[in-house]
Structure 1
Amino acid sequence: MSSNNGKPKLKTSAMIASIASEGQATRSAPFGHALVELAKQKSNVIGMTADLGKYTDLHILAQAFPERYYQMGMAEQLLMGAAAGFAHEGAQPFVTTYAVFATRRAYDFMHQTIAEDNLDVKIVCALPGLTTGYGPSHQAAEDLALMRAMPNMTVIDPCDAVDIEQMVPAISAHAGPVYARLLRGNVPVVLDEYDYKFELGKAKLLRDGADVLVISSGIMTMRALEVAKALEKDRVGVAVLHVPTIKPLDTETIVREARRSGRLVVVAENHTVIGGLGEAVATALMQAGVHPPFRQVALPDLFLDAGALPTLHDRYGISTQVMAANIKGWLV
């Protein structure tokens, strides 16, 4: 057993597991299919990837429009620079890779060739946060912090297949660079129960509750809804405010909901506690003079362990069970 900041690392077995709960409905490759529908309507839409077409669902576009699919090899900097060139010539590139490779290997190329010129490039990245068990080389725990800091960049963290399908045409209609997290493969279907519609820059109150307000993004909105249902049995009312757009942040809705007295505010995100949704919400509340009891459900400021996702999600507090237990403890 090796150590992490002096603490023993516990070993886990399987490396990969679905983020969907047992029996949960899923939809296959929602990003790829939504992009094909968009490409049928817009002739300038192209797909580009760095040897990860199959693993970012971009192979769906490659099958439908092979002449509009560009495989750039394992060269993420080249991928971003070429996407900038295509955008200068009037194309709308949808660029895919893993989130760690885009935000850590190719950050300067996105910054200088795409964001500085405010180009119409959509960067859609798989394996966000802790959605793989393959350790720090593949866990993009700090991607939102990095991309929030980039001028001109819109940043999105979708919850499920519904969010992704609706996000694709919305970010296409937005003129300018976008960084979006991507759930790939068989993606949970959650938001269809809540009369939900994705709107760029808007937070959505999915359910109300008198005791706790959970402000969440990405897969943590799915977890927050599961927690809300579980805590109903204990007569704890949990409201869930889904924030799919991290930048620009819908501060008006967040402040309005957090201002309601008597509720604990919990920000839940599949991201490090540093620089993500939690700090963005805390800043917005401080600037508005709103000071509710405040807690964060987020990943620690550590290089995370490798292992099976259920084990890791329990260990780092982002599973439904651990999150529900923590919220109950905070209410005591």
Structure 2
Amino acid sequence: MAELETIEMRAAYCNALLEIAEKDKRLVVLDADLMKASGVMPFKKAHPDRGIDVGVAEANLVGVASGLSLKGFVPFASTFACFAARRAFDQFFISSNYAKLNVKLVGTDPGVSAEFNGGTHMPFEDLTMMKMIPGLTIVEPSDDISAGKFTHLLFEHDGCCYMRLHRKKLERVYKEDEKFELGKAKILAEGKDAVVFALGGVMVRESLKAYEMLKKEGINATVVDVLTLKPIDRQLIIDQISKKHVVVTCENGQVAGGLASEIAEIIAYEGLSCKFRMVGVFDQFGQVGKLDYLLGAYQLTAEVIAQKVRTALRTTVKVGFGGPGFGMKIGNK
């Protein structure tokens, strides 16, 4: 059967919601004056009694979602990731998670994908904030296929979740019959010299580009799509680092408290020895610009990833910190 045409990730998200709605009347979809931007307007038209726009009131969005969950519904509440994290954090922490409810919060336009929304609306910190919530499941799909299937998985999961969702179209990574699990990563390319852990559609693509660049130079790297930041695929990470010893993390957000921090904690706790490099945002605010410009401005490009691998393979770096993308050789083995 021929593969379907790639669609925007927000469309894949909405399509999955429509599929769920046909089978389960517990589903309710909410938004905060961004239904068109979030791609859920088709759901509102198909199910007007189950599509709720609360207006420009993100804290109320999560409060209403929590109330619906308390009554047995399964709410999916979407808004820009900057609002999901900064404006609604307390409500999501207390009303949803502390109360042990079943709210699915979706933050769109993560990191540099916010583009012309500008610095105030460019969330580099959302994953860092969300990762601090006990028991919260956090996912970031990398294409339309994974976006649709993770929407189904989150609906089936009993407990609060945060999905970081790129809204626009991205080149497809997975085939339509790909199977996914919460807490499980995917190996997209394999090599013996290094391992690159990438999170999110933007960084997965840059990592795959870096893989091709390095391959032409005789350097073979493994590329892992992390997919679930929490609970992270700990055993796969341990296995890969144990075999490769050169590790690069790639994320479209702050490295502090994000994927890099999570991998570093595993390395330290397990006593693994490796050369460790990070690609991500280092203590910076957002800005206005097109995606390609922003990738360059924050050093999130394939060339930067490839260079991290090259330098790690060539050098022995002492323990310590040396600014953005610092390297360190850590471990006791």
TM-score normalised by length of structure 2 = 0.88
Structure 1 gap ranges (5+): 1-24
- State how 1:1-332 maps to structure 2 within 5 Å: 26-28=6-8, 29-133=11-115, 134-192=117-175, 196-219=178-201, 220-261=203-244, 263-332=245-314
DSSP-derived class of the 1:260 partner = helix
More helix by share: 2
DSSP-derived class of the 2:252 partner = strand
Q: Is the 8 A contact 1:30 1:187 kept in 2?
A: no
1:229 Cα offset (Å): 1.8
Structure 2 gap ranges (5+): 315-333
Question: What one-letter code is carried by the residue in structure 1 that aligns with 2:7?
Answer: R
Worse-matched range after superposition: 313-322 or 161-170: 313-322
Q: Identity percentage over the alignment?
A: 33
Deviations along 1:246-292, one digit per CA (max 9) or x if unpaired, are 1111111100111014x411011111111001100110111111121
DSSP-derived class of the 1:293 partner = strand
DSSP-derived class of the 1:55 partner = helix
DSSP-derived class of the 1:279 partner = helix
Q: Is the 8 A contact 1:32 1:61 kept in 2?
A: yes
Q: Distance in 2 between matches of 1:150 and 1:38?
A: 27
Q: How many residues align?
A: 306
1:297 Cα offset (Å): 0.7
DSSP-derived class of the 1:130 partner = helix
2:328: which partner in 1? none
Deviations along 1:57-79, one digit per CA (max 9) or x if unpaired, are 11121122122100100001111
DSSP-derived class of the 1:150 partner = coil
DSSP-derived class of the 1:137 partner = helix
* RMSD value, Cα: 1.6
Q: Distance in 1 between matches of 2:200 and 2:304?
A: 18
Worse-matched range after superposition: 311-320 or 195-204: 195-204
DSSP-derived class of the 2:121 partner = coil
Deviations along 1:14-38, one digit per CA (max 9) or x if unpaired, are xxxxxxxxxxx73131111111111
Worse-matched range after superposition: 215-224 or 265-274: 215-224
Q: Distance in 2 between matches of 1:73 and 1:56?
A: 13
Q: Is the 8 A contact 1:116 1:152 kept in 2?
A: no
2:319: which partner in 1? none
